[in-house]
Amino acid sequence: MTPHRLDRVEARRIAVRAQLLDAPRPTDLLDVARQLTLLQVDPTAAIAPSADLVAWSRLGSSYRPADLTRALEVERTMFEHNAMLRPMEDLRLHLADMAEYPADWEFGRKWLDDNESFRRDILELLKTSGPLLSRDIPDTSKVSWPSSGWTNNRNVTKMLEMLLKSGEVAITARQGRQRVWDLPERVYPADAKALSLEESHRLMNERRVRSLGIVRPNAFGSPGEQLSVADSGEPAVVEGIEGEWRVDPAAIGKPFSGRTALLSPFDRLVHDRDRAMELFDFEYILEMYKPKDKRRWGYFALPILHGDRLVGKLDAKADRKAGKLDVFAIHEDVPFTKAISKGVRDEIQDLAQWLGLDPVWT
């Protein structure tokens, strides 16, 4: 197939529209989750948890975090798996991988084999007493998890996470940041049917292309969500950028009307830092792990989208005790026009209102 030839403006607009960040805002949380395929869980709440920020960026101030809690814990229209929140209808795309886990991880298989009685203890306890927090589950392991890092001897948590990946347990709710565990038959729908590995991977790749709009065939992802799409979509080349892309053909040539948006650092528009640089000339590093004097943009700087360009970063922090949103700096990657400045200030005002805080420029 002859590759589609796109200029960078069209490529950027495809990416922005695919992520529901153009002017026509969506109005339903589940529709947002379906199009994005996931909302990433991250406990950092310098402004708000990432999943809530991503939803707010699309839905605006009509969105409430309680909407997401209800979808996950009451309506069961979404589920949490591997630090990602997904539409429940997509569970079928993950069941085959669950059934195979940890097929290609020799160490993981051995640790599970050595702790088979521990595994059975957890499943029996959840059956009779679940749902439970991890702290309510005794550690009956025979072999401790040997990591020298933060997972050292956290045997219950490690076993639960491995059983989650294999589909033997599920997350039914959260109490604050703590996951509440239960058996999958009490969380997942009974009629969820696994597809073959080949079919599920094909469908997941197609979903990623539609969600991202345009992506490298083998883009780097993360342990919880790969960005590789193989040969899904159709081939494309972008003017001035070497190499092949895969594009959603249905997204080409659509009208575009942009807006201003403040994004989570984990937002899928900017999550692939290489793509952000290639398409948007946007450099970004999450600096929360850097010493304060080494940061250029701030602890949890929010990327700023205006139209089809990523134009800067917002350094801000929610001070809930004082009832204010501290705005420390607005970093301009390009000189702000009056329209950009107004759009950014309006979004900061909307963010503060959504948080129930007063914006304070410091």
* pTM of the complete model: 0.94
Structure confidence at residue 151 (pLDDT): 52
pLDDT of 113 over the 90 cut: yes
E-assigned strand segments in 147-301: 170-175, 178-182, 214-215, 234-238, 245-247, 260-262
Is 3 in a helix, a strand, or coil? coil
State the alpha helices, DSSP H only, in 213-300.
Answer: 273-280
pLDDT of 152 over the 60 cut: no
Q: Predicted confidence band at 219 (pLDDT cuts at 50, 70, 90)? A: confident
**Hey, what domains does the chain have and what are their CATH numbers?**
94-186 (1.10.10), 260-361 (3.40.630)
Residues in contact with 177: Cβ distance below 8 Å, sequence separation at least 6, in sequence order: 43
pLDDT of 183 over the 90 cut: yes
pLDDT of 99 over the 60 cut: yes
Which strands, in side-by-side order, build the sheet including 234-238?
4-6, 234-238, 245-247, 214-215
Q: Predicted confidence band at 153 (pLDDT cuts at 50, 70, 90)? A: low
Q: Is the dihedral of CA 304, 27, 173, 36 positive or negative?
A: negative
Structure confidence at residue 104 (pLDDT): 83
Mean pLDDT of 85-108: 94
Mean pLDDT score across all residues of the chain: 94
DSSP assigned state of 196: P
